[in-house]
């Protein structure tokens, strides 16, 4: 597994996307901190940008890279290697490359301008999102034979999680605000890793009061140490389930 991961990482090191991704994130992060005199406001703006940008670029790049390396993957599959090892190694290499780009482009500016608990929460949640959407990208790429269709599914997945899901959740909250829906809100938030990350960061910035009734419910659950651990555990579950499904699908796939 480590040899496959190593050679994939060497190939990714020559890929211009990784450097471009790091440069884009660096420009966005430093630009927001330089424009905003208050680091907290800069973190809020940066959070909104990253929660949309990181999942999108991670998902699309993972799908496209898998198809670009498909012939190499087939060559590895005819070797005395288990298919599960091939998928896990490629997933690990892509995730490491994207995480390195993210930490270079966002981690360094955040630690330089806002080295506090909120900054670390932003880094950790976006790190988890990178791993989650790498796993989702691998699952989509393995399941679909057509590259264009796979990219389309990836974009639709992103739109559903970033835009449609939020709209539906807000509609449920405001439509049934006069009823005890606390047991329903928290599980619904956990069904979307982007919403889960946004809640964790917003609570660290102490914006629960601005969220009204919704913020009170979220703060009651996610504000505690146990709630934070459960939240990060759910994000890891979002990574493990798609990855395991991708591994099983590739093991049964007719190459």
Rounded Cα distance between 16 and 5, Å, is 18
As to burial, measured by CB atoms within 10 angstroms (0-12 exposed, 13-18 middle, 19+ buried), residue 170 is exposed
The answer to whether the CB of 129 falls within 8 A of the CB of 54 is yes
| pLDDT attached to residue 185 | 66
What is the domain partition of the chain in residue ranges?
2-252
| pLDDT attached to residue 230 | 74
| pLDDT attached to residue 212 | 47
pLDDT above 90 (res 174)? no
| pLDDT attached to residue 104 | 93
Of residues 78 and 221, more confidently modeled: 78
Rounded Cα distance between 86 and 2, Å, is 10
| pLDDT attached to residue 109 | 92
Rounded Cα distance between 228 and 237, Å, is 14
| pLDDT attached to residue 103 | 93
| pLDDT attached to residue 116 | 81
Rounded Cα distance between 91 and 46, Å, is 27
| pLDDT attached to residue 223 | 59
Compute the average pLDDT of residues 47-56.
91
The candidate with the shortest Cα–Cα distance to 182, out of 239, 144, 220, 125, is 220
The answer to whether the CB of 138 falls within 8 A of the CB of 243 is yes
| pLDDT attached to residue 215 | 52
Rounded Cα distance between 197 and 240, Å, is 17
| pLDDT attached to residue 56 | 94
| pLDDT attached to residue 186 | 66
pLDDT above 70 (res 10)? yes
The b/e string for 223-243 (b: 16+ C-beta within 10 A; e otherwise) is beeebbeebbebbeebbeebb
Tallying the residues shown for the chain, one arrives at 255
Q: What is the mean pLDDT of the chain?
A: 82
| pLDDT attached to residue 209 | 45
Look up tokens 């990350």; give the residue: 197
pTM of the predicted structure, to 2 decimals? 0.87
* Most confident option among 3-12, 104-113, 221-230: 104-113
Q: How many CB atoms lie within 10 A of CB 74?
A: 11
Rounded Cα distance between 159 and 149, Å, is 15
Q: Among the listed ranges 101-110, 121-130, 166-175, 194-203, which one has the minimum average pLDDT value? A: 166-175
Compute the average pLDDT of residues 31-49.
87
* Most confident option among 122-136, 192-206, 209-223: 122-136
| pLDDT attached to residue 150 | 92
The answer to whether the CB of 237 falls within 8 A of the CB of 59 is no
Three-state SS letters, the chain: CHHHHHHHHHHHHCCHHHHHHHHHHHHHHHHHHHHCCCHHHHHHHHHHHHHHHHHHHHHHHHHHHHHHCHHHHHHHHCCCCCHHHHHHHHHHHHHHHHHHHHHHHHHHHHHHHCCCHHHHHHHHHHHHHHHHHHHHHHHHHHHCCCHHHHHHHHHHHHHHHHHHHHHHHHHHHHHCCCCCCHHHHHHHHHCCHHHHHHHHHHHHCCCHHHHHHHHHHHHHHHCCHHHHHHHHHHHHHHHHHHHHHHHHHHHHCCC
The pLDDT > 90 percentage for the chain reads 32
| pLDDT attached to residue 253 | 76
| pLDDT attached to residue 171 | 77
pLDDT above 70 (res 227)? no
Compute the average pLDDT of residues 14-25.
89
| pLDDT attached to residue 97 | 92
């Amino acid at each position: 597994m480590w040899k496959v991961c190593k050679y994939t990482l060497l190939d990714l090191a020559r890929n211009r996307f990784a450097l471009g991704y790091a440069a884009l994130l660096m420009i966005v992060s430093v630009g927001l901190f330089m424009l905003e005199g208050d680091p907290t406001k800069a973190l809020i703006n940066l959070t909104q940008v990253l929660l949309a940008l990181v999942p999108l670029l991670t998902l699309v790049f993972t799908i496209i890279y898998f198809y670009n390396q498909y012939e190499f993957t087939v060559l590895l599959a005819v070797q005395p290697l288990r298919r599960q090892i091939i998928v896990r190694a490629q997933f690990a290499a892509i995730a490491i490359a994207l995480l390195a780009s993210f930490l270079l482009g966002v981690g360094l500016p955040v630690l330089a301008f806002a080295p506090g608990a909120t900054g670390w929460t932003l880094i950790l949640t976006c790190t988890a999102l990178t791993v989650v959407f790498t796993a989702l990208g691998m699952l989509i790429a393995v399941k679909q034979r057509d590259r264009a269709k796979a990219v389309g599914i990836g974009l639709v997945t992103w739109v559903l999680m970033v835009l449609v899901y939020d709209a539906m959740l807000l509609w449920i909250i405001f439509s049934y605000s006069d009823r005890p829906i606390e047991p329903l809100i928290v599980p619904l938030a956990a069904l979307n890793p982007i919403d889960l990350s946004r809640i964790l960061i917003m609570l660290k910035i102490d914006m629960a009061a601005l969220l009204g009734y919704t913020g009170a419910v979220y703060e009651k659950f996610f504000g505690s140490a146990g709630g934070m651990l459960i939240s990060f555990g759910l994000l890891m579950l979002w990574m493990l389930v798609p990855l395991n499904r991708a591994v099983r699908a590739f093991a049964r796939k007719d190459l």
